[in-house]
Structure 1
Amino acid sequence: MAVSGVRSGRRGRIRRAVAVAACVVAAGVVPSTALATPGSGVSGTILAKGTSEDGLKIKTRGRTDVVVRTITVAPGGSTGWHYHQGQLIAVVQSGTLTRTMHDCTVETTTAGKSFVEPAGPHHVHIGRNLGTEPVVLYVTYLLPEGAPLSVDAPDPGCDV
């Protein structure tokens, strides 16, 4: 029973939790997706997907989603800043991909070359096509089961 306008019990706790959450959002404490840097000129197609029962003996606990995907980045296109929750291996089929890493270093990978991207939010990066022909990638993702292919992130201050 409520005493002096204060609700007790489960219903009261839920209402208080909702009120606190509303205050936190109103105060701007929750990170905003407006800080993310959206990509443009990028398309992708999943070629195959499966789930490993044993975690593939990599740094994921439990089951691992393995996704094989082709990605095309149009001239002038960009992936936007992002990271992956699992490791990925990529092969550049055509074009030249320019990646800027979290520490503002720049890596360029040309057709016929490959690279590995480590997992985690401390490995934020952006991929760009600064050339005149499309960049085509073949990418294999090794992700914790149910994880998204990538997670949007804000520009770490590299001014790209």
Structure 2
Amino acid sequence: MTIRHDGGSAARPAADPGVAGQVLAVGTAEAGLALRSRGRTEVTVQEVTLAPGAATGWHYHRGPLIVVVRSGTLTRLLADGTRRTAAAGTAFVEPAGRRRVHLGRNLGAEPVELLVTYLLPAGSPLSRPAAGPGRPEGGAPDSDPLWR
């Protein structure tokens, strides 16, 4: 076994035989990643699966998240009405804050599998429910496939 220390294709000699690693997910953020946290920060890694047609509901996070899409395509609706899609093999940062409410939905026929790394103020819940922007109950027209 070899462990890659430099992120490149060259591997250094193996560590002790009792050291093992397993890559859980790989995603590429085409525009790079920018993260910031303040104070005591809890780091939590969670596998999240959205079945076909499932949605997260409107929510926000108190700290940034790094999301790697392992399979499927995640469609997100952001607070400003922007729609973003993230396909398998991609990564993105979900920014923090109440003004960054968002909803994720699986509009595809296969499950969406995510590996999410949360960087949250210590003791914070992973997410907080929120009303959708401009919709007191978070509702939406039936004609919008993101909401069906």
TM-score bucket of the superposed structures, by smaller chain: 0.5 to 0.7
C-alpha displacement at 1:58, in angstroms? 3.7
Moved runs in structure 1, 4+ residues, more than 3 A? none
Residue 144 (structure 1) aligned with residue 142 (structure 2): no
Cα RMSD, aligned residues only: 1.7
Structure 1 residue ranges without an equivalent (≥5): 1-46, 48-56
Structure 2 residue ranges without an equivalent (≥5): 1-23, 25-34, 141-146
Counterpart CA distance in 1 for 2:46 and 2:117 is 6
Residue 125 (structure 1) aligned with residue 102 (structure 2): yes
Contact 1:73 1:128 in 2 (8 A): yes
Secondary structure of 1:138 counterpart: strand
Secondary structure of 2:99 counterpart: helix
Residue 60 (structure 1) aligned with residue 33 (structure 2): no
Q: Which residue of 2 aligns with 1:115?
A: 92
Contact 2:36 2:64 in 1 (8 A): no
Counterpart CA distance in 1 for 2:38 and 2:56 is 25
Q: Which residue of 2 aligns with 1:103?
A: 80
Counterpart CA distance in 2 for 1:87 and 1:94 is 22
Counterpart CA distance in 2 for 1:59 and 1:91 is 19
Secondary structure of 1:76 counterpart: coil
Contact 2:37 2:119 in 1 (8 A): no
Q: Which residue of 1 aligns with 2:57?
A: 80
Number of equivalences: 104
Secondary structure of 1:69 counterpart: strand
C-alpha displacement at 1:60, in angstroms? 1.9
C-alpha displacement at 1:59, in angstroms? 2.9
Contact 1:94 1:137 in 2 (8 A): yes
Larger-gyration structure (1/2): 1
What TM-score, normalized to structure 2?
Answer: 0.67
Residue 94 (structure 1) aligned with residue 77 (structure 2): no
Identity of aligned residues (%): 59
- Which has the larger strand fraction? 1
What TM-score, normalized to structure 1?
Answer: 0.62
C-alpha displacement at 1:135, in angstroms? 0.1
- Which has the larger helix fraction? 1
